[in-house]
Homo-oligomer: A and B are copies of this chain.
Amino acid sequence: MQNADLSIKKDDIDLFENLTDSEFLELKDLFHYKKYKKGAFIIAENDMVKHVYFIRSGLVKLSYFDDDNKEFILSFAQENWWETDFPAFYNQTKSSLTLQCIEDTETYGLSFDDYTAILDKHSLSKYFLEKSIKGHIANQNRILSLLKHKPKEQYEQFLQLYPSLLQRIPKSVLCLYLGISRETLSRLYKTR
């Protein structure tokens, strides 16, 4: 009924938190709402990657598929994270990764052109820098965990860092993120 229900609100994206009302009004129309069903692809392989996506609700996985179609999960992204195939997004080329929903997911897409256009405004680059640093730290933890290649420790680190995600991600998917086989993962949490 009310159009207001469909339009973006100031508290839909944490990016808007520090903006004045007029700054918010200036930017709000650049963020395009879209809803995806569980299993749907936000980015499919070889898509042109025109947007970076803010996850408003739900859970997605960013994956690479090798020549044998074996899947490797680069990251999970949940509420309040920005995700996309960054190499493809930045170079405006076709994706070599896929972004697929593990749950029903709501996103706000921001196009590359709009992204670059607004970066200089209202300390948005500072906002994205903070997000990026957080991601960098998370990635370093992940790398360290992978370097040790002790399945048990990896599982336990994941358990410790993201306890809530454990319930939302099937074990058969988690193992693609941890880099261990489904079977070893299955054997892990019973022998203890």
Contacts and interface: CB of A to CB of B under 8 A. Distances in A.
Interface of A: 64, 66, 72-75, 86-87, 90, 119-120, 123, 125-126, 128-129, 132-133, 135-137, 139-140, 142-144, 146-149, 179
Nearest to A179: B147
A84 to B, nearest CB: 11
Contacts of A129: 119, 125, 128-129, 132
Nearest to A178: B147
Interface of A is mostly: helix
Contacts of A87: 137
19 contacts: A64-B144, A72-B144, A72-B147, A74-B143, A74-B144, A75-B140, A90-B133, A119-B126, A128-B129, A129-B132, A132-B133, A132-B136, A135-B136, A139-B139, A143-B143, A146-B147, A147-B179, A148-B179, A149-B149
